């Protein structure tokens, strides 16, 4: 990485952390530490367990993001290896910030070790990013069509306009599948050649991406329902808008941005305990599970590399 690119990357991360810290302060400063602790401990065990189950389901879907990418580059890498690389990359990357860059670097470490080229890894990361966009777009479209009133209040536009936007988002997803089916001409960028995935992979991207975000919304709803009667559609609306804000700010793990956006959409229905519990379940737990796995994996890779270097010398 050149000096200018490194400066830009680190500068963006610092800027994201600064925004996140400010928003988190604004969102939590009205509460005392005791109030936050009491709000978290008030969540019933049943709700916590269901939220954990939805979180696990989401991370399984996230491995599907990588699976579609690996199949796109026509690799027969087995699913367990794909799942390992995906979980470690996203478990760490979603909390570190700049997920596309951080998780991409971690993916490269794994996939390169298993024989994939730099171009292959770049295409896997790119296709995973497209899957994120498709899933968010389709769930957003569904939410806007089924629940235009809440979205209209937040965006300060009429429900009919929201409905049209929602239909447009869903039609755009259909258009993506049609492009995948009929636009097969490759596009060359420098040394690399890109082309649309097959229609079958495009449909898989949309299904996996949408289910993923639907499960994360369910996780958030389950925690909020511990104290309030929250509808799934409203929770999904809040989560979609929160993710759009996260993409704009690049805040690490959406820190502060997600909390403030969800509070703005949900009002008092989104207790601070539910939001803290959501961050712990969806970001902190996967991070602290992925961290030791990544360290073990790095040790294994280094040991195998050292063994490969010594084997030829030993056979002479």
Give pLDDT tens digits for 89-99: 888 877 665 55
At 33 the pLDDT is 57
In a domain, 54, yes or no: yes
At 97 the pLDDT is 57
Structure tokens at 96: 């570190």
At 92 the pLDDT is 80
Phi, psi (deg, nearest 5) at residue 189: -120, 105
At 99 the pLDDT is 55
How far apart CA 32 and CA 39 sit, in angstroms, is 11
In a domain, 277, yes or no: yes
Please report where in the chains the tokens 């502060």 appear, as a residue: 256
Mean pLDDT, each 10-residue run in order, the chain (316 residues): 52 50 52 61 87 95 94 92 92 67 78 89 90 93 88 82 94 95 77 84 96 94 84 87 70 64 76 82 85 84 71 48
Query: Which ranges constitute the DSSP H helices of the chain?
Result: 3-28, 33-41, 45-72, 79-96, 99-113, 118-146, 148-155, 159-182, 199-224, 232-249, 257-266, 272-279, 285-315
In a domain, 210, yes or no: yes
Quick one: residue 267, left, alpha or beta (phi over 0 = left, psi -120 to 50 = alpha)? left
In a domain, 154, yes or no: yes
In a domain, 74, yes or no: yes
At 244 the pLDDT is 75
In a domain, 115, yes or no: yes
At 314 the pLDDT is 44
In a domain, 11, yes or no: no
Per the structure, how many domains does the chain have? Answer: 1
At 16 the pLDDT is 47
At 9 the pLDDT is 47
- Expressed as residue numbers, the domain containing 120 is 40-303
How far apart CA 253 and CA 207 sit, in angstroms, is 23
């Amino acid at each position: 990485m050149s000096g200018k690119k490194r400066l830009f990357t680190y500068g963006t991360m610092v800027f994201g952390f600064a925004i996140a810290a400010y928003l988190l302060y604004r969102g939590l400063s009205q509460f005392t530490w005791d109030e936050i602790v009491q709000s978290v401990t008030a969540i019933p065990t049943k709700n916590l367990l269901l939220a954990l189950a939805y979180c696990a389901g989401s991370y399984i879907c996230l491995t599907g993001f990588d699976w579609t990418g690996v199949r796109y580059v026509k690799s027969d890498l087995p699913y367990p290896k794909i799942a390992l690389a995906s979980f470690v990359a996203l478990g760490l990357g979603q909390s570190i910030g700049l997920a596309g860059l951080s998780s991409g670097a971690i993916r490269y470490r794994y996939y390169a070790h298993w024989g994939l080229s730099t171009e292959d890894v770049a295409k896997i990361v790119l296709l995973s990013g497209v899957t994120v966009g498709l899933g968010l777009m389709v769930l957003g479209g569904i939410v806007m069509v089924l629940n235009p009133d809440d979205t209209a209040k937040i965006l300060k536009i009429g429900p009919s306009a929201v409905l049209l936007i929602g239909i447009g988002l869903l039609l755009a997803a259909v258009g993506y599948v049609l492009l995948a089916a009929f636009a097969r001409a490759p596009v060359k960028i420098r040394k690399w050649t890109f082309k649309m995935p097959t229609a079958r992979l495009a449909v898989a991207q949309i299904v996996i991406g949408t289910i993923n975000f639907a499960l994360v919304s369910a996780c958030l709803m389950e925690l909020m329902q511990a104290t309030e009667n929250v509808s799934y559609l409203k929770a999904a609306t809040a989560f979609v808008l929160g993710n759009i804000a996260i993409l704009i700010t690049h805040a690490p793990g959406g820190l502060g941005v997600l909390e403030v956006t969800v509070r703005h959409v949900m009002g008092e229905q989104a207790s601070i305990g539910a939001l803290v519990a959501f961050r712990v379940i969806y970001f902190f737990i996967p991070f602290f599970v992925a961290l030791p796995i990544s360290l073990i994996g790095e040790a294994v890779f280094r040991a195998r590399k050292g063994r490969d270097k010594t084997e030829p010398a030993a056979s002479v």
